């Protein structure tokens, strides 16, 4: 009996000593300066950054952000990822067009809370041209077909599809933006802003043209030409005659605008002055020349039978900014920084009483 009591006392003593040893070890580990502190999790970082975001309707462009990760750093706004930017071969951006999947293509998860997206552009076909990173509150990449509310963190390092380290613009996803319907744009150019010129008219009648090229569909929609000028997206703009194009200049212009004719015999061309403000919003909120005023219009008309006529079956337009008259040679047009964009149309049934469609 006594022996059993002694064994029990000894066992309890051992347990007490072990418990004290554990408590001392934990206390020593917590106070030690050599202890390794784990980095804060992405979820914690997300929670800490919530206070930085404030609701803003500033529009942030994924393409511009992919080219300059420092742009909009520490800004809140709406990432306009629904439309694909249209970029010409010389790097000139001429607008944007709605695209079923948006301008962002999900590539991969960089870690539990960071997704890498390619930025798509339209250059004849839709192709990747840059990347951005999206920091997420979870591991579910957001839908790129809807605009995002984001906070721009600035540059961060990532690995592209080829395994190379790159610097990309990073945004923190804060949820989806629900756009409100906008009223139709109906402003017209004041007569006082019409440029001076010899005054020769475009044609003697109103002619409706249906948008046929990617840029025309996305930026101007259908247009209407008249003796007074051109109607684009319900607004009228002047076309003041400068001169007819002839000989090599006409052939060079037809080549630059990709007029599909066996020769220039079926094509007529004219150069006009115009004045379309850079702030004028057209289809989808696009502009003709970005923030610049359009000052010149190169217009070619062509008939399907090759006979040539100012009221031909096809209309080809090129808009230019700047005060200097554009040089109408294929290489000069293609590389000109003043070139705003080129647009193709097909003649539709004329209806003078009906406004041009948007």
Range in 65-79, 109-123, 137-151, 249-263 with the lowest mean pLDDT = 249-263
**CB 275 within 8 Å of CB 194:** yes
CB neighbour list of residue 47: distance below 8 Å, 6 or more residues apart: none
| Cα gap 75→61, rounded to integer Å | 12
For the chain, the average pLDDT equals 74
Better-scored residue on pLDDT, 206 or 109: 109
**CB 194 within 8 Å of CB 188:** no
Q: Which of 88-97, 185-194, 278-287, 300-309 has the highest mean pLDDT?
A: 278-287
| pLDDT bracket for residue 170 (50, 70, 90) | very high
Q: Which residues pair with 298 in a beta bridge?
A: 271, 318
Instruction: Indicate if the alpha-carbon torsion angle 277, 282, 288, 292 is positive or negative.
Output: positive
Residue 227 has a pLDDT of 76
Range in 20-29, 107-116, 165-174, 332-341 with the lowest mean pLDDT = 20-29
pLDDT tens-place string over residues 32-53: 433 323 333 333 344 444 458 8
- Name which of 130, 121, 131, 132 is nearest 89 in CA terms: 121
CA angle 277, 94, 309 (to 5 degrees): 80
Residue extents of the structural domains in the chain? 42-176, 191-347
**CB 130 within 8 Å of CB 155:** no
**CB 297 within 8 Å of CB 239:** yes
Mean pLDDT of 183-208: 48
| pLDDT bracket for residue 160 (50, 70, 90) | low
CB neighbour list of residue 236: distance below 8 Å, 6 or more residues apart: 188, 189, 228, 229, 230
């Amino acid at each position: 009996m006594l022996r059993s009591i002694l064994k029990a006392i000894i066992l309890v003593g051992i347990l007490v000593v072990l418990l004290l040893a554990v408590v001392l070890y934990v206390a020593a580990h917590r106070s030690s300066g050599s202890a390794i502190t784990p980095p804060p999790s992405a979820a914690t970082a997300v929670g800490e950054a919530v206070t930085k975001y404030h609701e803003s309707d500033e529009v942030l462009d994924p393409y511009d952000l992919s080219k300059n990760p420092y742009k909009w750093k520490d800004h809140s706004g709406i990432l306009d990822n629904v439309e694909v930017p249209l970029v010409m071969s010389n790097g000139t951006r001429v607008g944007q067009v709605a695209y079923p999947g948006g301008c962002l293509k999900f590539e991969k998860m960089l870690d539990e809370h960071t997704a890498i997206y390619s930025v798509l552009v339209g250059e004849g076909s839709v192709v990747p041209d840059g990347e951005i990173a999206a920091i997420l509150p979870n591991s579910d990449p957001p839908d790129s077909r809807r605009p995002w509310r984001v906070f721009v963190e600035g540059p961060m390092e990532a690995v592209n599809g080829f395994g190379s380290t790159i610097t990309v613009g990073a945004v923190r996803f804060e949820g989806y933006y629900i756009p409100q319907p906008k009223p139709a744009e109906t402003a017209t150019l004041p007569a006082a802003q019409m440029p001076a010129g010899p005054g020769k008219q475009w044609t003697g009648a109103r002619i409706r043209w249906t948008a046929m090229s990617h840029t025309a569909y996305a930026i101007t929609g259908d247009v209407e030409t008249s003796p007074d000028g051109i109607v684009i997206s319900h607004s009228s703009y002047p076309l003041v005659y400068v001169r007819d194009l002839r000989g090599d200049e006409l052939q060079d212009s037809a080549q630059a605008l990709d007029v599909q004719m066996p020769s220039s015999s079926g094509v007529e061309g004219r150069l006009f002055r115009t004045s379309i403000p850079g702030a004028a919003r057209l289809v989808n909120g696009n502009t003709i020349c970005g923030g610049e005023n359009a000052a010149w219009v190169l217009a070619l008309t062509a008939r399907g039978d090759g006979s040539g006529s100012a009221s031909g079956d096809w209309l080809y337009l090129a808009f230019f900014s700047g005060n200097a008259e554009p040089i109408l040679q294929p290489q000069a047009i293609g590389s000109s920084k003043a070139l705003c964009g080129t647009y193709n149309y097909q003649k539709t049934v004329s209806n003078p009483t009906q406004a041009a469609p948007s």
